Structure 1
Amino acid sequence: MIPRLVTYRQRRPDGRWLRLYVPVLPVLLVLSPLLLLVVLAGLVACLVFRVSLVGALRGTGQLLCALPGTRFEIEDGRTAVLVSVR
């Protein structure tokens, strides 16, 4: 299952929170022309570096399936950033 929502929260130095909710599917649809170029570049890279295409696709799929539930938290002084993937 691919991620559906990415939540970005940032605590500013003044203590207020900035929250952004990014739905993944509409962003993928808007960026699909660039995604096609990235896939083609990945195919060329697999051929140049002699990496198995099937193995690379399998690894990418496993990475996408493992993303839901992931949380990144960074805190530095009075500033904090939290990225959550659902």
Structure 2
Amino acid sequence: MMPQLVTVRVRRSDGRRIRVWVPVLPVLLVCSPVVALAVVGVAVACLLYRVDVVRALDAGWGIVRALPGTRFDIEQGRTGVLVSIR
């Protein structure tokens, strides 16, 4: 299943917290021309380096499907960032 929502929480050094919810599908639709160019670029690179295009795109899609449930938690001093993919 493709990720549906990305939640970003930022704890600033002054103690304030910011939370942002980013729905993946609308962002993907807006960025679809760039995504299409990236897929074409990957396909051309695969052909240049003699890698099977279908297997490379399948591996990339497998990585995208595995993203739900992933959390990135970064802290530096009193500042922290948590990215949660659902």
**Does the residue aligned with 2:80 lie in a helix, a strand or coil?**
strand
1:23 aligns with 2:23: yes
- The 1-side partners of 2:12 and 2:65 are apart by 32
Give deviations 1:57-85, integer Å, cap 9, x for gaps: 11111101100000000001000000000
Between 1:61-70 and 1:49-58, the stretch displaced more is: 49-58
Long gaps (5+) in structure 1 = none
Q: In structure 2, what is the Cα distance between the partners aligned to 1:33 and 1:61?
A: 18
The alignment's TM-score, normalised by the length of structure 2, stands at 0.96
Mapped pair 1:48 → 2:45:
no
TM-score, normalisation: structure 1: 0.96
Aligned residues: 86
Any idea what SS the aligned residue of 2:72 has?
Answer: strand
| 1:3-40, Cα deviation, whole Å (9 max, x unpaired) | 00000111000111111100000001101111111111
Equivalent residue runs for 1:47-66 within 5 Å: 47-66=47-66
Look up the SS of the partner of 1:6 in the other structure.
strand
State the shift of 1:52 in Å.
1.1
Q: Which residue of 1 aligns with 2:39?
A: 39
Check if 1:84 corresponds to 2:84.
Answer: yes
